[in-house]
Every structure is written in C-alpha cells, then in structure tokens.
C-alpha cells in the first residue's frame, strides 16, 4: 500500500458532517477513510465516463460493416502496384 503523505481538507455543513460520520460509523471505518473511498470511487466514475465512448448497437454494427467494405482508393492501389514492381533490396 502506498504511503499516504498528502492532505486534503473540505468544508461541510453540520448536517453533511453528521451524515458522513454516521455513514462511516455504519461502514465500520474512519471518517477519513470513508471520505477518501467515496471521493476516489466518484473520481473513477467521472474519469470512466469522460474517457469512454458509448454508441447504440446498430451504429456500431454499421461501423463494422463499413470497415469490412472499404471504398475503392484508385490512387492508393496504383501506389501499391508501383511499389510491388520496384525492387527494394539490390544485390551488391
């Protein structure tokens, strides 16, 4: 476990403090551990939402179908053909 050396503070109302203390007591952990756990869990949720793209299943299926049937790229095909005809390694 990492050494905990940083400190954070928060201002709460008396009602919020009471709710937090009761919840921590019910969970059987310290108020500090409860607050850190809750904050880290919420931070993970927010970061997951910010870094995950969700699309409807039919959109995803259409995307995969489009990738399986790429459009023709005649200039790219000509470049590939030209490269195949050229020798890349020459004998000395």
Give domain status of residue 8, yes or no. no
Whether pTM exceeds 0.85: no
Residue matched to tokens 């409860």:
34
Positive or negative CA dihedral for 60, 61, 66, 67? positive
**Which residue range forms the structural domain that includes residue 50?**
14-85
80 burial via Cβ count (<10 Å: 0-12, 13-18, 19+): exposed
Residue 4 lies in a domain: no
Both tokens of 8, joined, read 């954070």
Tokens of 34: 């409860």
pLDDT of 72 reads 78
Any domain includes 38:
yes
Q: What does the pLDDT look like over 45-59, one tens digit per residue?
A: 999 999 998 889 999
pLDDT in tens, 22-41: 999 999 999 999 999 999 99
**Using CA atoms, how far apart are residues 50 and 45, in angstroms rounded to an integer?**
9
Structure-model confidence comparison of residues 53 and 18, the more confident one: 18
């Amino acid at each position: 476990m990492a050494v905990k050396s940083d400190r954070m503070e928060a201002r709460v109302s008396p009602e919020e403090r009471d709710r937090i203390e009761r919840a921590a007591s019910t969970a059987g952990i310290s108020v500090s551990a409860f607050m850190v756990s809750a904050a880290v869990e919420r931070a993970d949720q927010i970061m997951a939402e910010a870094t995950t793209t969700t699309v409807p299943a039919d959109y995803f299926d259409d995307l995969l179908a489009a990738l399986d049937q790429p459009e023709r790229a005649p200039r790219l095909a000509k470049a590939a053909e030209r490269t195949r005809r050229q020798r890349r390694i020459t004998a000395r």
